[in-house]
Amino acid sequence: MSTSPAPTWTMIDKGSFVLGRCEVCGWTSPARRAYATVEREGIKHAEVCAGSPDPVAAPDAGEASSA
């Protein structure tokens, strides 16, 4: 018995519109009136999502100034 992985995106209702949001990288789909379109876009995004964006690089400990 195989279980499918949990989706990495959710649908968010905004009044008459719905949009998709990736929980991994923060991608947000355009607002749509059709749930099916948002679902299709979310699935397509999940297939190509590279994960969270690289954090801003912090200075190396050796380069930190001592006060």
pLDDT at position 11 is 96
Q: Provide the token pair at 23.
A: 């929980």
Residue 31 located in a structural domain = yes
pLDDT at position 51 is 78
Report how many domains make up the chain. Answer: 1
Helix boundaries (H) for 1-67: 35-48
Residue 23 located in a structural domain = yes
Residue 59 located in a structural domain = no
Residue 2 located in a structural domain = yes
Residue 45 located in a structural domain = yes
Domain of 21, in residue numbers: 1-50
Which residues does 19 contact at the CB level (< 8 Å), separation at least 6? 11, 12, 28, 29, 30, 31, 32, 38
Q: Is the pTM of this model over 0.95?
A: no
Q: Provide the token pair at 5.
A: 């992985």
